[in-house]
């Protein structure tokens, strides 16, 4: 069967709902329209464009991408509050804990969301 648009054959589709900023929605809509262009009878969903873009990116982020994300999105006050809570809990247990080790992930406590790996230097 010859169709103007063939949908990608995904082996296993898992649903993950994400919320996009208005700026990101505008970009996805622009990209979708650019792909459609002047092609008639083409129906491309923004989710297909997002999946395609993600599939083109390597599985691992570069150290630079990780640093950029952390710089823009990690709330340092939230990390400091988490560290204070962990230090107080360790002191109550009679343990000595080093702030540097705690924040860099060398201490044996789970790190807060967004800090599940050591920051890049």
Q: What is the pLDDT along the chain (121 residues), one digit of tens a residue?
A: 444 555 555 556 788 899 999 999 999 999 999 999 988 898 999 999 999 999 999 999 999 999 999 889 888 898 889 889 988 998 899 988 888 888 777 666 655 555 554 444 4
The contacts of residue 115 (CB under 8 Å, 6+ apart) are: 74, 79, 103, 105
> What's the pTM?
0.58
The contacts of residue 96 (CB under 8 Å, 6+ apart) are: 90
């Amino acid at each position: 069967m010859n169709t103007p648009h063939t949908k990608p054959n995904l082996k296993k589709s898992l649903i993950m709902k994400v919320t996009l900023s208005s700026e990101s929605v505008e970009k996805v809509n622009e990209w979708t329209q650019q792909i459609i262009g002047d092609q008639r009878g083409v129906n491309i969903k923004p989710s297909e464009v997002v999946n395609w873009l993600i599939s083109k990116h390597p599985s691992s982020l570069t150290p630079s991408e990780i640093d950029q994300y952390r710089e823009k999105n990690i709330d340092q006050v939230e990390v400091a509050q988490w560290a204070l809570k962990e230090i107080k809990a360790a002191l109550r247990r009679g343990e000595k804990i080093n702030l540097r080790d705690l924040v860099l992930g060398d201490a044996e406590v789970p790190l807060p969301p967004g800090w599940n790996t050591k920051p890049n230097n």
